[in-house]
Each structure stands twice: as C-alpha cells, then as structure tokens.
Structure 1
C-alpha cells in the first residue's frame, strides 16, 4: 500500500500552461465563497462588507503569486516541468494554502483593528483555508489535466497526420523507383528499398549478450538491473532480458539516430511508429508489428514530436 502511494506521488504531473489563471480564478472563488458565507465576523460589518471580502481575495492572489511565480523563479530546477510530480504539486498546493492562512491572519488582525497576533487567530485562519481550499484545488486539478489532455490529443493528431504523409511519400518513392527499374527490364521485387544492416550489441559486461539488427528493434525497456529488448524476428515480436543498464543500452544504439530516448525507462525506434495516442501525461506510441505501446513522458514529448514529423536519417 505504501509503495503504491509512493509510486503515485512520484508519477509525472503536468505543469500549468497559463499560470496566471491559477492566481486569478482561485482568488475569485475565495471571494465568492467568503461573500456568501461571511466568516471572521464579516456578516456584522454592514456597508464595508464587500471591500473586506475583496481584501481577502487580494491576499489570496498575493500568496498564490508568490507560490506560482516567485518560488519557480528562485528554484527553477525544482519546478521544471520535466521533474514535476504529483507529490510536488500537492506539496506546492499545501505551501500556497499555508501562505494564504498567514496572509489572512495578518489581514484579519488589521481589519478588526487589532495588531496583536495570536496562535488562535492563525489557527482560525488555517481552519477556514482548510474548509475553502478543496473547492479551487479540485477545480484546478481537473482543469489542468483536461487542458493537458486536449493539448496532447491535438499534438497526437498532428503527429499522426505527419506519419500518414510520410507513409504516402515512401510508397510513392518505391512505386516510382519500381516503375523506373521495370522500364530497364528488372523485376520489381529486385528493387524494393533495402536497409543496410546495422547490428546492435546489448551487453552489460557479462558473457550474456544479444545482437539485433537495428531496423528490427522496437524498443528497449529498463527493468531493475536488466533491460528488456523487444525486436522482430521471423515476422514475430520477440523479447529478451539482458543484464545491462539503460546507459549501456544508449551506448549500444548511439550510432542510430532513429533510436532515441522517449521515457526515463524506454528507448524507441522512431521508424517503427505507425500511430500516436495522446493522454494527460504525454503520448503513447504504437509500433508496426509490436503488440505493446511505448510511453513518451512529457520531458521527451517535444523531441519525439519533432523527430517523427521531420523524419530521421540514420
């Protein structure tokens, strides 16, 4: 149970595309809820009620601005999209809530004419934040994931269009070449495009090794102290575990520009990609002749998209 929870917290989480919305919208939600519920004695303030509630919204905006803009500027590596996880998102959310509670505590003391702060006042502010926070938090969790999903689905559609265009171009080249060769009196089957064999050797320094033609490789997956090599043999998908690291696997495929890293645990042969599916985390690649899909994490999504759309030489 604990291991599953830790795995969930370490899972990638999409960063916000438009951060200003994470400041304005929650502050607006806080303003509306406070204006309706009127805690902290706001209900007894008469005509100043609106401005007092607006002040709480401003305090929330300032606290969220610190969390959304200042902290990422001060600690860019920690807040980078490539390293962002669900656990860090939750931790950042709790930090923002704490800042709002502190700001509300000071603001409440100032509004009610008392500059004497106390733990009781802070705990009351913290309690109200705990009551109100779930509403904007749940809203943004759903909104952000849906935003990422829509963006990735759109990009997946663009990639699939590029794949279809590339396939049609390749077919046209083969057809043209065959026609030219037929005119010269040679059989079409003798002039089909052939790839120069390029052998890959996967080995972790032990006696165990695997030699595979680069053009038949589907993907390489890290599994603990081993790597799983998936490739085509006799028109069938084959898999074999080799005791080696991903670093050693990358060194083995370094000469092949069409075999690239797409995930912290995967290398993939771009030339075998026939379709791309998008989700909130990134993409999943479908490979020709392969029964399994290969994930693409968001840190590699842009590079993979560029390679697929532009094609590779190798």
Structure 2
C-alpha cells in the first residue's frame, strides 16, 4: 500500500517542450557513450564485430534518440491532463521506452555482428536486459531523488508565506461576464465563486452554495474569462487550465508539480499551482495579505 501511494504522487510532465527533450536525449547519448567507453560494462567478443567497437558504442548510444523522441511526441498527443501525471506513470512509460530501445538494439544486430545466432531469443533477452541495466539508474535512483528534491523545494518555498483565511469584501460583488454569444452572457457572483477549470471548448465554473457547490458550463475561453476579472486581484490563474478565488483557500501543500490548493468546504478536488506560477502566486498572495 505504501509503494502504491508513493507511485501515485504527482510528478512533473517534462515532455511538452520537445526541443528541450531533444537536447536532453543528446546529452544522455553522450553520457552513455562516455560511460560505455570508459568502463566497458558488457562482455565484448571482438571476433564477431563487423565494424570497429567504437562505432558499435556510437550506434547503441545514438539509437535511443529517434526512438525516445518519437515516443515522447506521441505521448504528448495522447496526454490531455498533465496535472494527473504521477511518478508511477513516469516509471511505466520510461520502462516501456527502455523495452522498445532493447528491441531496436536486437534488430540491428545483423548490421553489427557476424554471430549466426543473432535472431535467437537469447540475444533478444540480452539486448533488453542490457538496456535496462543502463537505464535502471534513471528508474530507481534519479526519479525518486528528483521527486524528493522538488517536494523539498516547493515545501520550502511555501514556508515563505503563511496561509490564513482571507476576506476581501467588494461592494460590487456581481460582475457581468460577456461571451461570444450574447444570449449566454451571465452574472458572476465574486463572493461565491470558487474556481474555474477548462473543459475542452468550455469553462466549468464552480460556485459555493448552501448545498455545497454548484457548477455551470459556459462556452468561454479561460483567457477571456480572466481578462474580465482584472479588477479583482484575488482571482488568480494558478495553472494553464485553472483560475481560483484566493479567498477560497483553506490550506496549501507542496508537491513535485508545484503547490496543491485545498479549498474551504470543497474537499473533492485540489487545485494545482504549476511550478512556473509558484513565484507569482507567492507574491500575489503575500501582497493581498498586507492589504
């Protein structure tokens, strides 16, 4: 149960910026080549080589670059809610990637070795095993260390501000929100507004009411919604998909993705504050506390 809970912890989705991913893959290829060249971790039978050993190391170091890039490109297309990314999903997808790289290494054996048993199950297993031996450092050491580093960093950032209940009374508690369709314009009660969330081409808007909460669905872009609430400094965009009323915050915790906001009388969902928004959130929230 503890392992299951650990794997469910939020983890950053690093694969949106494909140019940065490509640079990282090139760096890992250089590191892999250097490690193999210096330490020669695997048994080498030079008599079976069709090409010089140094070129074999180059092939095995460079081969993962196109495979991983294509995999992360497709992963980007399939993942819709990156705030739901967890350490377990990171483990799983990297393990699948290592498996694919192992298969690719097996498929190029005929170009590298003269061994007549190149297409045997033994060598398929050997290539997959060797790939995992190289990648195991990433899976069982670097990922947990990075998770803990991010949690510590964001928790330390959180200590710089003190969270307490905020009350901002505004005489003009209702404001009209204009949509692209005039008939769908509506009044927003700032006092009862909790948060808004992107849902495809729509915006889910949550209000506090006597029964708990109420949700309305409007055809409205998040940016258009936020632009009409500029006069309310406590309405804050915490994430590319979320806008929250800072009055509604009950508590805040730090995790690997940034912050998680817990809302008053609304335990059903936490609102993410992305890593890129932490500094701005701290500044805005602290300045509001002083007013």
| TM-score, normalising length: structure 1 | 0.54
SS across alignment from 2:267: coil
Q: Is the radius of gyration larger for structure 1 or structure 2?
A: 1
Equivalent residue in structure 2 for 1:301, among 275, 278, 282: 275
Residue 260 of structure 1: aligned partner: 237
Is the aligned partner of 1:243 residue 2:217? yes
1:288 and 1:83 map into 2 onto residues whose CA distance is: 24
- By how many angstroms is 1:146 displaced? 2.0
Q: What stretches of structure 1 of length at least 5 have no aligned partner?
A: 1-7, 113-117, 171-191
For 1:244-295, what per-residue CA distance to the aligned partner results, in whole angstroms no more than 9, with x for missing partners?
24x356533432243325254x332345445433344554222355434424
SS across alignment from 1:291: strand
Equivalent residue in structure 2 for 1:152, among 146, 150, 153: 150
| TM-score, normalising length: structure 2 | 0.57
- 8 A Cα contact 1:260 1:270, kept in partner: no
- 8 A Cα contact 1:153 1:279, kept in partner: yes
Equivalent residue in structure 2 for 1:24, among 26, 31, 46: 31
For 1:155-183, what per-residue CA distance to the aligned partner results, in whole angstroms no more than 9, with x for missing partners?
4224412332x869x9xxxxxxxxxxxxx
Is the aligned partner of 1:34 residue 2:42? yes
CA RMSD of aligned residues (A): 5.3
Equivalent residue in structure 2 for 1:97, among 102, 106, 109: 102
1:106 and 1:283 map into 2 onto residues whose CA distance is: 50
- 8 A Cα contact 1:259 1:270, kept in partner: yes
- By how many angstroms is 1:138 displaced? 5.0
Q: What stretches of structure 2 of length at least 5 have no aligned partner?
A: 1-7, 16-20
For 1:204-244, what per-residue CA distance to the aligned partner results, in whole angstroms no more than 9, with x for missing partners?
869888744335422124568975533345xx683213232
1:59 and 1:89 map into 2 onto residues whose CA distance is: 20
For 1:7-42, what per-residue CA distance to the aligned partner results, in whole angstroms no more than 9, with x for missing partners?
x9xx9744579654576369858977633xx7xxx3
